Amino acid sequence: MAVAASTSASERVIVAKAKWRPLESERNLAWLLLLPTMVLLGLFIAYPFMRGLLLSVTDTRVGVPGEFVGLDNFRRLASDPIFHAVVWNTCWYTFVTTIFKLALGLWLALLLNRSFKFKAFTRAFILLPFIIPTVLSTFAWKWMFDPTFSVLNWMLYQTGFIRSAINWLGDGDLAMLSIIIVNIWRGVPFFAISLLAGLQTISPDLNEAAAIDGARPLQRFWYITWPLLLPVTMVVMLFSVIQTFADFQIVYVMTGGGPANATHLFATYAYQLGVGTGLLSQGAAVSLAMFPILLLIVIVQLLYIRRVEVR
Amino acid sequence: MTGVSRRKFLKTTGAGAVAASSGGLAGILATGRAPAYAQQTTVHWLRWNDFVPACDQLLRQKLLPEAEKALGIKVRYETVNGNDLQPRITSGIQSGAGPDLIMLFNNHPHLYQASLADVSDVAGEIAKDQGGWYKLCSANSSSGGKFFSMPMAIIGAMNAYRKSWFAEVGYNEFPKTWDQYRDAGKKLKAKGYPIGQSFGQSFGDPPTFAYPLLWSFGGAEIDDKGKVVINSKATVDAVKWMAAAWVDAFDEGGLAWDDASNNRAFLAGTICSSLNGASIYIESSRKPEQYKQANGKPMKDDILHAPLPGGPAGQFGFHTYTSHVVPSYSKNVSATKDLLRFIHKKENYDQWFSTGLGFYTPGTTGWESHDLWKKDPVMAPFAVAGKLGLTPGHPGEPNAKAAEVLTKYLIGNMFAAHMRGQKAEDAVAACEAQLKKIYEG
């Protein structure tokens, strides 16, 4: 039986060879499987990027096709004080929020990794800030920071912490603080859940063994958990930095970039110039200016991740 | 209009249709249905969320259904936040598809001039019928005699103020000068009722306050020949006055306010005065039970309107102007123009204007003597908003460059920068650098 079956199978293979079966080639199959992704990336990433690049070297305005002007738009940015503020704002915003999101997210992940009642429910609940559409939750925050009707001010006033209203969104520094708070609030769940996933891959045996050897909790964290979690942490940070650097919604809803441009980020300034005022080429130049900075950050982080993984 | 007589029209359509074995207008009428093309014509109209919601309701529930019936078209009416109108027209023009009729503020139409249909015919007809357009309208909506936007109305900006509170601190009449205004505001702020003024990045209240303030001190972004002249002692004085008064007399939260914030604050009784369209007063009049003074009487009885105070160079006014544009990508230009004609027809426009109770001042002189202005003395000051209002860029033209300055909030932000601690001279110089890039390339 077995012999007969195998002969018929080999016969079939021989017959099949005569037919045109391009997908049997691993190379072709690979291209085919890559195709949808490539089309999507091409349509939604590469094409807009190239369009942006082309726009930024012209003087296109809305409805008026522009002419090639070389690097004029970038030269203009170099001497634009608002743009300087934008670069500083974005870097500061990304730096501060990432530090806090990492610290709070890690803390939350360590807590969630323990056993307690309603664990599954709590884990799901923690994700809420991340699940709610950002624009909606930011509107709620906007009301909480409202200059006249701030519930935060009301609470602080009622509990005797302040005598007069804190001008949350009307003062440049406090407005920056406000958007930082909202970004951290929204971003912590992402860190917490991702790091929790990382924590669960660490075998409890290691911690137990260390405990038996007399390592204290802090030591166990520092010498076992942290090094094993580092690769995950770096990837999560990479994602977060890219997203935060290009953040738009929180600032657009909360401050519109104000007061007096104190909270403009790359994305909001590009939007105001390009879409608001119709200076498409200048808007494109602002958003492209984000690219080299982001690229540098990504390269440094990727190199670091590789080093950590090799180790 | 185009020289086609009724007889010729019937003949032509009849002849064409006979060949198609039906029977021209008679055939269409016999079927009892509008011709196919008319059924499909949908005019998409985009306006802001009206500060007088009753005006939106009137359009949605009465005027637009009537227009649909009269013109045989469908109207899709959409409203968005006023600050989102510019992004919408930009994306419309770039993608070549979007609303057929878009509301814009002030001199914004100049920014999109190259992509807008000519509406001179409609503007001409209405001007002929209802008196000429105010200069404010024609300057913002046209260039070289060609109208690329159809004036709709002017939202007069006046200070709504609490009569009794000002009287308490010795001002039986609204302050005439900036220094008096600051003095009154200082006394009222001490009592917990500062002046409320938005200096945020928003389309309406911030520029309608900042521009006249600048002009009244003798400052201007450009002179009448288009040369940038912002960096002057007058401008620095204005900027310094504002920052000092801000601390003394104003609600400092105003740097984060949008166009609706002062309405909420005034109606909640936390500010004594605010530059505003009449929406605060109108809202308090519509709901006297909801908005009350401390003594239980309706708040509306304690509200009066007055123009902005004057400075060393005089008294000025800048009123938010609204108009509609028909982007040239629209496939329904002629139907859209018919809709404009319908809305601006005297009897229809009158309903809308009357519903606004004076929030909107019509753009033609013919409406100055309308009964509405005689009904309520509190609203009377708004009758002349169109006549006296200046345009962005004054004393220069309100052209695309002035529109760019306006949409980038450069003038308001110059004041705000000093309020936030930048040296006045530096704030003015920074603004000058920006203006020079725009005006002088």
Per-residue pLDDT of B20-50, as tens digits, reads: 444 455 555 555 555 555 456 999 999 999 9
Q: What is the pLDDT of residue B6?
A: 52
Is residue B272 assigned to a domain? yes
The residues of A whose Cβ lies within 8 A of any Cβ of B are 61-64, 76, 79-82, 146-149, 165, 167-172, 175, 255-262, 271-280
Determine the distance in angstroms separating the CA of B265 from the nearest CA of chain A, rounded to an integer: 7
Is residue B295 assigned to a domain? yes
The residues of B whose Cβ lies within 8 A of any Cβ of A are 83, 86-87, 89-91, 93-94, 111-112, 114-115, 199-202, 251-258, 261, 264-265, 268, 270, 404, 407-409, 413, 416-417, 419-420, 430, 433-434, 437
pLDDT (tens digit, 9 = 90+) per residue, B223-263?
Answer: 999 899 999 999 999 999 999 999 999 999 999 998 889 99
In the block, residue with structure tokens 């074995």: B21
Q: What is the pLDDT of residue A3?
A: 45
Q: What is the pLDDT of residue A63?
A: 86
Average pLDDT of chain B, as a whole number: 90
Whether residue B426 is predicted with pLDDT greater than 50 in this model: the reply is yes
Q: What is the pLDDT of residue B18?
A: 39
Average pLDDT of chain A, as a whole number: 88
H helices present in B170-323, as ranges: 178-190, 205-216, 233-249, 261-267, 279-286
pLDDT (tens digit, 9 = 90+) per residue, B54-96?
Answer: 999 999 999 999 999 999 999 999 999 998 999 999 999 999 9
Contact yes or no for B112 and A175 at CB 8 A: no
Cis peptide before A259 (omega within 30 of 0): yes
pLDDT (tens digit, 9 = 90+) per residue, B289-313?
Answer: 999 999 999 999 999 999 999 999 9
- Structural domains of chain A, with CATH: 73-310 (1.10.3720.10)
Query: Considering its fold, how many domains does chain B have in total?
Result: 2
CA gap B276, B198 in Å, rounded: 10
Q: Which residues of chain A make contact with B434, given a CB cutoff of 8 A?
A: 80, 82
Q: Which residues of chain A make contact with B94, given a CB cutoff of 8 A?
A: 62-63, 280
B183 and B303 part of one domain: yes
Q: Which residues of chain B make contact with A262, given a CB cutoff of 8 A?
A: 420
B56 and B117 part of one domain: yes
Q: Which residues of chain B make contact with A175, given a CB cutoff of 8 A?
A: 256
Q: What is the pLDDT of residue B5?
A: 56
Q: What is the pLDDT of residue A116?
A: 86
Determine the distance in angstroms separating the CA of B10 from the nearest CA of chain A, rounded to an integer: 40
**Number of other residues whose CB lies within 10 A of the CB of residue A36:** 9
Determine the distance in angstroms separating the CA of B86 from the nearest CA of chain A, rounded to an integer: 5
Residue-wise burial string across B367-389, b where 16 or more C-beta atoms lie within 10 A, e elsewhere? beebebbeebebbebbbbbbebb
B167 and B118 part of one domain: no
B237 and B182 part of one domain: yes
B163 and B274 part of one domain: yes
Is residue B2 within 8 A of residue B121, CB to CB? The reply is no
Q: What is the pLDDT of residue B274?
A: 96
Q: Identity (one letter) of the amino acid at B108?
A: H
Q: Who contacts B334 (Cβ-Cβ below 8 Å, separation ≥6)?
A: none
pLDDT (tens digit, 9 = 90+) per residue, A58-103?
Answer: 999 988 888 999 999 999 999 888 999 999 999 999 999 999 999 9
Q: What is the pLDDT of residue B117?
A: 96
Determine the distance in angstroms separating the CA of A45 from the nearest CA of chain B, rounded to an integer: 18
Question: If we measure between CA atoms, which residue out of B207, B405, B420, B408 comes closest to residue B317?
Answer: B207
B150-155: strand order across its sheet: B74-80, B42-48, B101-105, B320-325, B150-155, B360-361
pLDDT (tens digit, 9 = 90+) per residue, A2-35?
Answer: 444 444 544 555 555 567 777 788 888 999 999 9
Q: What is the pLDDT of residue B64?
A: 96
B47 and B175 part of one domain: no
CA gap A92, A99 in Å, rounded: 11
B165 and B142 part of one domain: no
B304 and B221 part of one domain: yes
Question: If we measure between CA atoms, which residue out of B98, B100, B91 comes closest to residue B45?
Answer: B100
Residue of A nearest to B415 (CA): A260
Determine the distance in angstroms separating the CA of A81 from the nearest CA of chain B, rounded to an integer: 8
Is residue B45 assigned to a domain? yes
Tokens of A70: 């070389």
Range of the domain at B70: 34-155+320-380
B167 and B249 part of one domain: yes
Q: What is the pLDDT of residue B412?
A: 95
B278 and B175 part of one domain: yes
pLDDT (tens digit, 9 = 90+) per residue, B321-375?
Answer: 999 999 999 999 999 999 999 999 999 999 999 999 999 999 999 999 999 999 9
Q: Which residues of chain A make contact with B200, given a CB cutoff of 8 A?
A: 256, 258-259
Q: What's the mean pLDDT in B135-148? A: 95
pLDDT (tens digit, 9 = 90+) per residue, B187-224?
Answer: 999 999 999 999 988 889 999 999 999 999 999 999 99
Q: What is the pLDDT of residue A185?
A: 96
Contact yes or no for B264 and A149 at CB 8 A: yes
pLDDT (tens digit, 9 = 90+) per residue, B382-413?
Answer: 988 888 899 999 999 999 999 999 999 999 99
Q: What is the pLDDT of residue A6?
A: 47
% chain B with pLDDT above 70: 91
Q: Identity (one letter) of the amino acid at A302?
A: L
CA gap B287, B204 in Å, rounded: 24
Query: Which residue from B111, B253, B270 is facing A62, i.e. has the nearest CB?
Result: B111
State which H helix or E strand residue A305 sits in: helix A280-310
Is residue B394 assigned to a domain? no
Is residue B3 assigned to a domain? no
Cis peptide before B395 (omega within 30 of 0): yes
B207 and B312 part of one domain: yes
CA–CA–CA angle B262, B266, B269 (5° rounding): 145
Tokens of A113: 């990794």
Q: What's the mean pLDDT in B7-22? A: 44
Q: Identity (one letter) of the amino acid at B100?
A: D
CATH code, domain with B54: 3.40.190.10
Determine the distance in angstroms separating the CA of A303 from the nearest CA of chain B, rounded to an integer: 39
Is residue B9 assigned to a domain? no
Report in angstroms the alpha-carbon separations of A27 from A22, A24, A77, B201, B262: 9, 9, 46, 55, 66
B107 and B216 part of one domain: no
Report in angstroms the alpha-carbon separations of B417 from A189, B91, B197, B429: 36, 31, 15, 11
| Backbone torsions φ then ψ of B303, nearest 5 degrees | -105, 130
Whether residue B141 is predicted with pLDDT greater than 50 in this model: the reply is yes
| Backbone torsions φ then ψ of B152, nearest 5 degrees | -110, -60
Which regions of B329-408 does DSSP assign to beta strands (E)?
Answer: 360-361
Query: Which residue from B254, B413, B437 is facing A261, i.e. has the nearest CB?
Result: B413
Query: Which residue from B94, B111, B270 is facing A148, i.e. has the nearest CB?
Result: B270
DSSP secondary structure of B28-95: HHHHTS--HHHHH-EEEEEEE--SSHHHHHHIIIIIHHHHHHHHT-EEEEEEE-GGGHHHHHHHHHHH
Interface residue of A54, A62, A168 to substitute, partner B, most B CBs within 10 Å: A62
Query: Which residue from B94, B112, B200 is facing A259, i.e. has the nearest CB?
Result: B200
State which H helix or E strand residue B161 sits in: strand B158-162
Residues forming beta bridges with residue B153, ordered by sequence position: B322
Is residue B430 assigned to a domain? yes
Contact yes or no for A168 and B417 at CB 8 A: no
Q: Which residues of chain A make contact with B416, given a CB cutoff of 8 A?
A: 258-260
One digit per residue, the tens of pLDDT, for chain A of length 311 reads 444 444 454 455 555 556 777 778 888 899 999 999 999 999 999 999 999 999 999 999 988 888 999 999 999 999 888 999 999 999 999 999 999 999 999 999 999 988 888 888 888 888 889 889 999 999 999 999 988 888 999 999 999 998 888 889 988 899 999 999 999 999 999 999 999 999 999 988 998 999 899 889 899 999 999 999 998 999 999 999 999 999 999 999 999 898 989 999 999 999 999 998 999 999 999 999 999 988 998 898 888 888 876 66
Q: Identity (one letter) of the amino acid at B192?
A: G
Report in angstroms the alpha-carbon separations of A1 from A6, B163, B371: 9, 107, 106
Q: Which residues of chain B make contact with A79, given a CB cutoff of 8 A?
A: 433
- Residue B127: which pLDDT band, with cuts at 50, 70 and 90? very high
Query: Which residue from A168, A169, A278 is facing B90, i.e. has the nearest CB?
Result: A278
Determine the distance in angstroms separating the CA of B135 from the nearest CA of chain A, rounded to an integer: 24
Q: What is the pLDDT of residue B301?
A: 94
Three-class DSSP category at B250: strand
